[in-house]
Each structure stands twice: as structure tokens, then as C-alpha cells.
Structure 1
Amino acid sequence: MTKDKSKVFLFIDNDPAPIAELDTPIVFDLDTRKLTDGEHILKIISHSPTGREGIRTIHFTVANGPAIRIEGLKNKDVVDGTLSLMINAYDKGNQKSFLINGSETPQTIPFWIWIIIILFIGWALYYEITSANIQ
């Protein structure tokens, strides 16, 4: 260990072997593609030149896999009968170019928009009928 720099050890989850052993200050690129999707813990243990030790843990979630959208069923819904589900899965691509194919999930129109459309059409018909009677 150098006398004037702290050293840090990076651990993922409960793995006893560090993924990196670095002298500070350092910029480290954590490649999350090597981790499974889900929750993880990054544990950083530092050793100062004076022999003191510090520990910091950071909880994070990896979501490298394709994003999954579902319409027609929500988490913890109580359901019965047959459900009509719309499911889409799409990837982020290589993050250097925008992937448009399949990246948008089609959605049904919410019922409140239908109500607004019907009210607007009703008002427009009422306006046309009443203005035609005046002339």
C-alpha cells in the first residue's frame, strides 16, 4: 500500500472476493451487464495510509434486460374470469443509437378521454342545432 494514498476494495453483494482493488482517487466503470437483473449491494471498504478502515454500502437495482410493459393487470390486483392482457418487451439497444422498433408500447385509450370526446361531440351537436334554429 502506498504511504500517501488510500486504497479501496469494491465488493458486489456478499462475494468475499473484491471486484476491484484501487488506489484513490480513481474513476471506476462498473459494468452492470455482468450482473443479473435485480437488487444488488455495492460495498466499498477503504484503507487509509494511517491504517484506519471505512465501509460504505450502496443498494442499487440492475435492469439491463428488456423492459416489460403490461396493460390489463397491475401488481396485487384481485381478479376473476378471463383477462385480456397487452404485453410488450423492448430493449434499450446498444445505447449509442436510438432503437425505435418495438420501443413504444401501444396503449388503450383511457375511459376518461372517451368521456371527454363524447361530451365535446355532444356539445358541438348541441351548438350546431341551436345556432341553426336562430338563423
Structure 2
Amino acid sequence: MTKDKSKVFLFIDDDLNPIAELETPIVFDLDTKKLPDGEHTLKIVSRSPSGKEGIRKINFMVSNGPTIKIEGLKNKDVVDGTLSLMINAYDKGNQKSFIINGSETPQTIPFWIWIIVILFIGWAIYYEITSYNIQ
């Protein structure tokens, strides 16, 4: 081990034991499949050859589980009565092949698209009526 290189220690969340102890410069592959879904913190502690230390913390979100999409209810909505919910959950698969089946969530057509369609149809009818009167 060379004495003129800095070392880095990688910690996940509040773990006292580092997941890796490496000499810089390095490329490190963090396997998030070993972490539960949710918020985590990567803490990098560096130690220079002279003994000085530096710390950097990076917050990140792990989402390895199936993605859940819901339509018909938003966070902090005030509701009453019966709600019609459209719920879909799909996985990323093995990431070596793309999964088509179930990977897209069907959605209702937004009201503003209906307004644009109705306005266009109204304009088309108006155009047809006025163009026949000219001839």
C-alpha cells in the first residue's frame, strides 16, 4: 500500500462499519439491491496521507421494488364518498431485457384534451358550414 494516496471509507446510513475502505482514485459500484427501498445516506470519509479527514454526505432514494402508480387519489387530497382508483404495479425486470407487459400505466384522458377536441370539432363544423355558403 502506497503512503502518498488518500483513503476513503464508505458508510451507508448510520452504520459504524464501512461498506468499503479504498485508496483513491477509485470507481466503486454501489449495489442498491442490498438496501431496502426508501431514503438512505452515503457518507464518504476521506483520510489524506498527512492524517487530515474530510466528510461528505449524499442523500439518495432507493426504489428497487415494483413501481406503484395510482390515479384517482393524490397525496393530501380531501375526499368523500366512493373513489374509483386505478392502481398498477410493475417491476423493472432483470434490466437486460425490456418488459412491455404491464410496464405502462393506463391513464384517463385529461379534461383539457377533451376541451381541445371539442373546440376543434366545433371549428371544423363552422368551417364546413361557412365554406358551403360561399360557393
- TM surpasses 0.5: yes
How many residue pairs get matched? 135
The percentage of aligned residue pairs carrying the same residue is 84
The answer for the alignment partner of 1:26 in structure 2 is 26
Q: Secondary structure at the match of 1:130?
A: helix
2:76 is aligned with what amino acid?
Answer: K
- Taking the aligned partners of 1:134 and 1:4, their CA distance within structure 2 comes to 89
- 1:98 equivalent in structure 2: 98
Deviations along 1:25-69, one digit per CA (max 9) or x if unpaired, are: 111100001001111001111111111111111111111111111
Report if the CA contact (8 A) 1:2-1:49 is conserved.
no
Matches of 2:47 and 2:115 in 1, distance apart? 64
User: Could you tell me how far apart the structure 1 residues matched to 2:124 and 2:37 are?
Assistant: 52
Amino acid at match of 1:89: A
AA matched with 2:96: K
- 1:122-133 matches, cutoff 5 A: 122-133=122-133
Deviates more, 1:114-123 or 1:101-110: 114-123
2-structure distance, mates of 1:48, 1:119: 68
SS state at 1:98 partner: coil
Deviation at 1:134, TM superposition (A): 3.8
Structure 2: gaps spanning 5 or more residues: none
Q: Report the aligned-residue RMSD.
A: 1.4
- How many angstroms apart in 2 are the aligned matches of 1:115 and 1:81? 27
Give a deviation string over 1:49-92, Cα, whole Å, max 9, x none. 11111111111111111111111111111111111111111112
Residues 1:88 and 2:81 are matched in the alignment: no
Which stretches in structure 1 are left out of the alignment for 5+ residues? none
Q: Return the offset for 1:14.
A: 0.3
Q: State the distance in 2 between where 1:98 and 1:13 align.
A: 32
Q: Do the aligned partners of 1:40 and 1:62 also contact (CA within 8 Å) in 2?
A: yes
Aligned residues of 1:6 and 1:46 also touching (Cα < 8 A): yes
Equivalent residue number for residue 49 of structure 1: 49
